Amino acid sequence: MTRPMTMAEKIIAAHAGLPSVEPGQLVECCLDLVLSNDVTAPIAIREMQRTGIKRVFDPTKIALVPDHYVPNKDIKSAEQAKIVRDFAREQGITHYYEVGCMGVEHALLPEQGVVGAGDLIIGSDSHTCTYGALGAFATGVGSTDAAVGYATGKVWLKVPESILFKVEGTLAPGVTGKDIILHIIGMIGVDGALYQAMEFSGSAIRSLSLEGRMSISNMAIEAGAKAGLIGVDEVTRAYLDGRVERPYTEYHSDPDARYAKTYEIDAAYIVPTVAFPHLPSNTRPVAEARDVTIDQAVIGSCTNGRIEDMRQAAEVLKGHTVHPHVRCIIIPATQQVFRQCMEEGLMDIFLSANCAVSTPTCGPCLGGYMGILAAGERSIATTNRNFVGRMGDPSSEVYLSSPAVAAASAVLGHIALPTDLGGG
């Protein structure tokens, strides 16, 4: 008889070919997907070539998404993208996404049905943990581990302990998945789940759309977590069925599974939240941050660039214009989201509000381009990190929030709640 296990442990055990695993155990697992982007793939490609292995283990189980400095911002980024493009063509990589088809990787791959419940996924990008919202065990790795994954389809893992976050009750109007995860990170700190699997459950989590859940799992790494998982339910199945390209498997934690710690959170106490510089854990209620003036607002990224996020921003911006001292940059996370924005009239709202709208890119999130900050400037952003110099000059500041809060702040010129706009 196997020991009771969490969903993270069950997925790892299944991919290690073992009846059970326990925290701290070292295992070799077979991979369902290895992904890289235009920053990390060239390193992995070079490392794989150094091994002398000529072909990837399975060209259908590797995803290459140029999204960080693409469309290319300069010669160096063009060279990086060319390395990825040439490798994809040489190896016959199925899931390579060229400009015009690409999107921000962690929004694109779920949308395209490339990832599914029960998968074990590694990616040479720290926010690979996003796919935990679909019931997968997904984690970020270095480019060397990705290279081994390209070549062998396997990875060594130390089985992490799991922490359970039970968020029960009804969320107040305007409270989103972004607010939930900022609340949790503010509560436990940026190393509060170090090398542990965060598991999110409870009625408040179940009330969220799959997109809201992806915002939560996306930022598990900001608490130091190895993964951030949410159990499969009818919302997950409705998203996956007819979308995912291969059969998926549901894994659910046993009722008597052992957790390193359990947090019980009353959803009623979660409010619209903003993270002050220079850590995602430096959180405060938005209502207590109205004295912070801003120079820029960025609405997009792998955290909040999906169609639900675009709709939330448009609902706030409709009938308003961006403050004359603020630049508001809207970045739909994929081509499909961009098209939906056009079809639903959201693009008209953004343009009428004097927003700049970009083709999909990670761009400003990592200080790449499309919104770099000068010395002393402040930006509110729906991105996931606000470290020193993250979006530009080391003396600039980034404040993290939900799309609705970022949009309201863009209109008023300071951090604000949508209700601060009055009846407009």
- Per-residue pLDDT of 367-379, as tens digits, reads 889 999 999 999 9
Over residues 264-273, mean pLDDT: 96
261 and 281 inside one domain = no
What does the pLDDT look like over 44-60, one tens digit per residue?
A: 999 999 989 999 999 99
Q: How many Å apart are CA 178 and CA 247, to the nearest integer?
A: 30
Q: Please identify, among 238, 265, 292, the residue that sits at the C-terminal boundary of a domain.
A: 265
- Is pLDDT above 70 for 120? yes
Mean pLDDT for all residues in the chain:
95
Which pLDDT score, from 0 to 100, does residue 315 have? 97
Which pLDDT score, from 0 to 100, does residue 1 have? 57
**163 Ramachandran zone, left/alpha/beta (phi>0; psi -120 to 50):** beta
- Identify the CA nearest to 216 among candidates 112, 93, 131, 108: 131
109-146 burial by CB neighbour count: b if 16+ within 10 A, else e? bbbbebbbbbbbbbbbbbbbbbbbbbbbbbbbbebebb
253 and 281 inside one domain = no
183 and 324 inside one domain = no
Where do we find the tokens 């970022």? 406
Q: How many domains does the chain have?
A: 2
State the residue range of the domain holding 395.
275-421
What does the pLDDT look like over 269-313, one tens digit per residue?
A: 999 999 999 999 999 999 999 999 999 999 999 999 999 999 999
Q: Please identify, among 210, 241, 265, the residue that sits at the C-terminal boundary of a domain.
A: 265
Measured CA to CA in angstroms, residue 307 lies from 27, 245, 315 at distances of 38, 21, 12
- Is pLDDT above 90 for 360? yes
Q: Where are the beta strands (DSSP E) in 76-230?
A: 95-96, 120-123, 137-140, 154-158, 161-168, 196-201, 227-230
Which pLDDT score, from 0 to 100, does residue 365 have? 87
116 and 220 inside one domain = yes
291 and 171 inside one domain = no
Q: Indicate whether 100 belongs to any domain.
A: yes
Measured CA to CA in angstroms, residue 267 lies from 190, 204, 322 at distances of 21, 6, 32
24 and 148 inside one domain = yes
pTM of the model: 0.94
Q: Indicate whether 168 belongs to any domain.
A: yes
3-state helix, strand, coil in the chain (%, to 5): 35, 20, 45
45 and 97 inside one domain = yes
22 and 62 inside one domain = yes
pLDDT category of residue 361 using cuts at 50, 70 and 90: very high
- Is pLDDT above 90 for 3? no
- Is pLDDT above 60 for 199? yes
CATH code of 279's domain: 3.30.499.10
Over residues 178-196, mean pLDDT: 95
DSSP string for residues in 268-324: GG---EEEPTT-TT-EEEGGG-TT-B-SEEEE-HHHH-SHHHHHHHHHHHTT----T
39 and 72 inside one domain = yes
Residue 28 belongs to what H/E stretch? strand 26-30
Where do we find the tokens 């009239």? 345
**Structure-token pair, residue 197:** 């699997």
296 and 226 inside one domain = no
249 and 291 inside one domain = no
Which pLDDT score, from 0 to 100, does residue 423 have? 56
Q: Is the dihedral of CA 147, 103, 407, 374 positive or negative?
A: positive
149 and 180 inside one domain = yes
pLDDT category of residue 424 using cuts at 50, 70 and 90: very low
Q: Please identify, among 219, 245, 265, the residue that sits at the C-terminal boundary of a domain.
A: 265
